[in-house]
Chain A
Amino acid sequence: DTGVSQDPRHKITKRGQNVTFRCDPISEHNRLYWYRQTLGQGPEFLTYFQNEAQLEKSRLLSDRFSAERPKGSFSTLEIQRTEQGDSAMYLCASSLLQAGPYNEQFFGPGTRLTVL
Chain B
Amino acid sequence: KQEVTQIPAALSVPEGENLVLNCSFTDSAIYNLQWFRQDPGKGLTSLLLIQSSQREQTSGRLNASLDKSSGRSTLYIAASQPGDSATYLCAVIDQTGANNLFFGTGTRLTVIP
Contact = CB atoms under 8 A, between A and B. Distances in A.
- State the majority secondary structure of interface residues on A: strand
Given A48-B98, A102-B32, A104-B49, A42 B43 contact: no
A109 B98 CA distance: 22
B43 A102 contact: no
A33 B44 CA distance: 13
Interface string A28-40: 0001010100001
B99 to A, nearest CB: 6
Contacts of A35: 101
Contact of A107 (B44, B51, B52, B106): B44
B98 A55 contact: yes
Interface stretch (B12-20, B64-72, B75-83, B89-97): B89-97
Contact of A42 (B45, B46, B95, B105): B105
A43 B91 CA distance: 9
By Cβ-Cβ distance, the 3 closest A-B pairs, closest first, are A42-B103, A45-B100, A107-B44
A42 B104 contact: yes
18 contacts: A33-B101, A41-B105, A42-B103, A42-B106, A43-B44, A44-B103, A45-B101, A55-B97, A56-B98, A56-B100, A101-B31, A101-B32, A102-B49, A105-B46, A107-B36, A107-B45, A107-B46, A112-B41
